[in-house]
C-alpha cells in the first residue's frame, strides 16, 4: 500500500534541443504549501552535483513522512550532460539565459516554475577550485561548499536580514561539525577585487526570485582535483549531499517563514535599477590552499567589496507600453508569461523618453521626458501590478543597468538622441 500523503511521480516539462526529455520528479506531501524545487545540471558537465542530489532523492524517498513537497529536476540540460559540456547543444549557457530565455531548456524551467510556484528553489552546481589568476599567487579555492542567495537589490527577500544570517550560520555550523567547510559564494576577479556572487539578473538565482518571488539558494560544491582521485570525488559528493540535507532540514524548521503572500508591486513604488559593489577597506579573512605547500590557511584579503550600493531608483509607472513592432522583445515577454492588455483603439496619455546620449551597456543616464496621447492599437500594455512587475522595470527601463541595451539579439539598435521605444503609462 502506498502512503496516502506521500506521492511520487515524474512529469516531462519539456524537451532539449536534441529532443531529450526534461523530467521533474516529485517527492513528499502534495498538500504541503512548502514547495521546494531543486534544479540540477544547468551546466551539463557538473556531474558531482547530480550524484549528490541523487543521494538526497534516495534519502527523501526513505522518509516516512514529509512536511513539504519537493520537485527535483536532475537534468536541466540533458544534451550538455550527454556530451559532458557546460552549455546546451546550441552553445547557450543556461544559467546566463534567465532573462532572454533563448534556450528551450530555460523556457521549460520557467514555465514549470510559473505553473508549480515553488516557495524555495535550490540551484545546484559545482565550481572549479583552480582559477588562473589565483594560481599565479599559488592559491586554490578550498571550500567544500559555496552558498548564496539572490543579491540583486530589486529583489524583495522573503526572509529578513536576521533570518538570512541565521540561515547562513546554521548551514555553516552544521557542516563544520561534520568537517565540511562552507562559505558564501565568493568571486575573485582578475583585477584582484573580491565580492560575493553577482547582482546580474541573468542567472537562475536572481531571475527566478525577481520573476516569481521564490527564495533561491545557489549551492556550489567544489570539484575535486584529478590527483585527488576517488577520495576527492567522494568528498565532493558527500559534502554537497550534507549541505542539501542541512538546507532541507533548516527549511523544514522554518517553513512558516515562507507562508507570506508574494509581493505585487504598485504604481509609484521605487525600484533600484542601478547598483554597484562599493569599494571598502574591509578585509576578508578566508581559508585558501597554497598550491605549492598544499597547506590550507586563513589569508587576509584586501579589495573586498561586501556591500552593494544602489545608485538609481525609478518610480514604477502603472504599466509599460511595448510596440508590437518589437517582435523579438514581445517574444521574450511572452516566454516569461507576463500578463498584458491589448486594448485596440483606446487613446491614452503616455510618457515618452528621448535619450540624449546613446544607450551603452551602462544604460542611459540623460533623457528628456514628454507626454503624448497615442492610440494603443499598435501596442501591448504590461501592467506592473503583477507577479514579477519589478522584473519588468529592470528589463524595460532605459536607465536600468540590466535593461534591453545589453541584448543585441533583440535588434533594437538604439541610436543617439531618439525616442526610447517603450512608453510608460
Q: List residues near Zn ion by CB under 5 A.
A: 43, 125
CB-wise, 128 or 229, nearer to Zn ion?
Answer: 128
CB-wise, 123 or 397, nearer to Zn ion?
Answer: 123
CB-wise, 121 or 381, nearer to Zn ion?
Answer: 121
Kindly state the smallest distance separating residue 198's Cβ from Zn ion, in Å.
13
What whole-number distance in Å separates Cα of residue 7 and Cα of residue 31? 10
Could you tell me if 152 and 208 are in contact, meaning their C-beta atoms sit under 8 angstroms apart?
A: no
Kindly state the smallest distance separating residue 49's Cβ from Zn ion, in Å.
8
What whole-number distance in Å separates Cα of residue 216 and Cα of residue 91? 25
CB-wise, 127 or 354, nearer to Zn ion?
Answer: 127
Which residues contact residue 330 at a Cβ distance below 8 angstroms, ignoring those fewer than 6 apart? 322, 324, 380
CB-wise, 96 or 235, nearer to Zn ion?
Answer: 96
Which residues contact residue 165 at a Cβ distance below 8 angstroms, ignoring those fewer than 6 apart? none
Kindly state the smallest distance separating residue 220's Cβ from Zn ion, in Å.
7
Could you tell me if 240 and 246 are in contact, meaning their C-beta atoms sit under 8 angstroms apart?
A: no
Kindly state the smallest distance separating residue 413's Cβ from Zn ion, in Å.
33
Q: Where are the beta strands (DSSP E) in 281-366?
A: 284-290, 296-301, 307-315, 319-323, 347-355
CB-wise, 48 or 391, nearer to Zn ion?
Answer: 48
Long-range contacts of 154-158 (CB under 8 A, 24+ apart): 154/201, 154/210, 154/271, 154/272, 154/273, 154/390, 154/391, 154/393, 154/394, 155/206, 155/209, 155/210, 155/390, 156/213, 156/263, 156/390, 157/215, 158/119, 158/213, 158/215, 158/257, 158/258, 158/260
Kindly state the smallest distance separating residue 143's Cβ from Zn ion, in Å.
15
For residue 201 the three cell numbers come to 539578473
Kindly state the smallest distance separating residue 39's Cβ from Zn ion, in Å.
11
CB-wise, 216 or 392, nearer to Zn ion?
Answer: 216
CB-wise, 23 or 85, nearer to Zn ion?
Answer: 85
CB-wise, 6 or 42, nearer to Zn ion?
Answer: 42
338: region left, alpha or beta (phi > 0 left; psi from -120 to 50 alpha):
beta
Kindly state the smallest distance separating residue 222's Cβ from Zn ion, in Å.
12
287: nearest Cα among 295, 274, 297:
297
351: nearest Cα among 318, 400, 377:
318
CB-wise, 125 or 424, nearer to Zn ion?
Answer: 125
What whole-number distance in Å separates Cα of residue 260 and Cα of residue 270? 21
CB-wise, 125 or 406, nearer to Zn ion?
Answer: 125
Closest residue to Zn ion, Cβ-based? 125
Kindly state the smallest distance separating residue 93's Cβ from Zn ion, in Å.
9
Q: Nearest 10 degrees: CA dihedral of 260, 94, 152, 144?
A: 90
For residue 354 the three cell numbers come to 528621448
User: Sheet of 284-290: strands edge to edge?
Assistant: 139-141, 284-290, 296-301
Kindly state the smallest distance separating residue 75's Cβ from Zn ion, in Å.
14
Kindly state the smallest distance separating residue 282's Cβ from Zn ion, in Å.
28
What whole-number distance in Å separates Cα of residue 204 and Cα of residue 222? 19
Kindly state the smallest distance separating residue 144's Cβ from Zn ion, in Å.
16
Query: Helix 47-62 and helix 229-253: axis angle, to 10°?
Result: 50
- β-pairing, 120-127 with 35-40? parallel
- If you write DSSP's letter for every residue of 201-231 in order, what string do you get? SSSHHHHHHHHH--EEEEEEEEPPPGGGHHH
Amino acid at each position: 500500500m502506498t502512503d496516502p500523503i506521500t506521492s511520487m511521480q515524474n512529469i516531462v516539462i519539456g524537451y532539449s534541443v536534441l529532443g531529450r526529455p526534461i523530467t521533474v520528479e516529485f517527492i513528499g506531501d502534495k498538500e504541503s504549501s512548502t514547495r521546494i524545487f531543486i534544479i540540477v545540471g544547468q551546466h551539463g558537465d557538473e556531474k558531482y552535483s547530480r550524484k549528490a542530489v541523487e543521494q538526497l532523492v534516495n534519502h527523501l524517498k526513505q522518509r516516512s513522512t514529509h512536511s513539504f513537497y519537493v520537485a527535483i529536476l536532475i537534468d536541466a540540460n540533458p544534451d550538455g550532460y550527454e556530451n559532458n559540456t557546460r552549455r546546451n547543444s546550441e552553445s547557450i549557457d543556461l544559467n546566463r539565459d534567465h532573462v532572454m530565455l533563448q534556450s528551450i531548456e530555460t523556457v521549460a524551467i520557467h514555465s514549470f516554475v510559473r505553473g508549480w510556484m515553488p516557495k524555495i528553489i535550490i540551484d545546484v552546481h559545482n565550481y572549479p577550485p583552480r582559477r588562473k589568476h589565483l594560481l599565479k599567487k599559488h592559491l586554490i579555492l578550498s571550500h567544500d561548499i559555496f552558498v548564496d542567495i539572490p543579491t540583486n537589490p530589486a529583489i524583495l527577500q522573503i526572509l529578513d536580514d536576521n533570518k538570512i544570517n541565521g540561515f547562513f550560520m546554521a548551514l555553516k555550523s552544521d557542516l563544520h561539525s561534520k568537517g565540511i567547510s562552507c562559505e558564501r559564494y565568493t568571486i575573485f576577479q582578475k583585477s584582484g577585487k573580491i565580492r560575493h556572487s553577482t547582482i546580474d539578473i541573468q542567472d537562475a538565482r536572481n531571475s527566478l526570485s525577481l520573476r516569481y518571488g521564490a527564495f533561491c539558494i545557489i549551492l556550489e560544491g567544489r570539484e575535486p582535483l584529478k590527483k585527488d582521485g576517488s577520495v576527492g570525488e567522494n568528498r565532493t559528493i558527500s559534502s554537497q549531499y550534507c549541505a542539501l540535507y542541512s538546507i532541507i532540514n533548516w527549511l523544514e524548521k522554518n517553513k512558516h517563514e515562507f507562508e507570506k503572500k508574494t509581493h505585487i508591486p504598485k504604481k509609484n513604488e521605487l525600484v533600484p535599477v542601478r547598483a554597484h559593489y562599493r569599494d571598502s577597506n574591509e578585509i576578508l579573512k578566508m581559508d585558501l590552499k597554497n598550491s605549492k605547500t598544499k597547506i590550507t590557511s586563513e589569508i587576509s584579503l584586501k579589495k573586498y567589496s561586501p556591500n552593494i550600493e544602489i545608485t538609481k531608483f525609478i518610480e514604477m509607472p502603472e504599466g509599460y507600453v511595448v510596440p508590437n513592432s518589437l517582435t523579438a522583445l514581445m517574444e521574450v515577454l511572452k516566454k516569461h508569461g507576463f500578463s498584458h492588455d491589448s486594448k485596440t483603439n483606446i487613446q491614452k496619455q503616455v510618457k515618452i523618453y528621448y535619450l540624449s546620449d546613446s544607450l551603452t551597456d551602462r544604460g542611459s543616464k540623460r533623457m528628456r521626458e514628454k507626454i503624448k496621447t497615442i492610440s494603443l492599437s499598435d501596442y501591448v500594455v504590461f501592467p506592473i501590478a503583477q507577479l514579477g512587475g519589478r522584473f519588468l522595470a529592470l528589463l524595460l527601463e532605459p536607465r536600468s543597468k540590466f535593461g534591453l541595451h545589453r541584448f543585441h539579439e533583440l535588434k533594437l539598435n538604439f541610436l543617439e538622441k531618439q525616442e526610447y521605444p517603450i512608453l510608460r503609462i
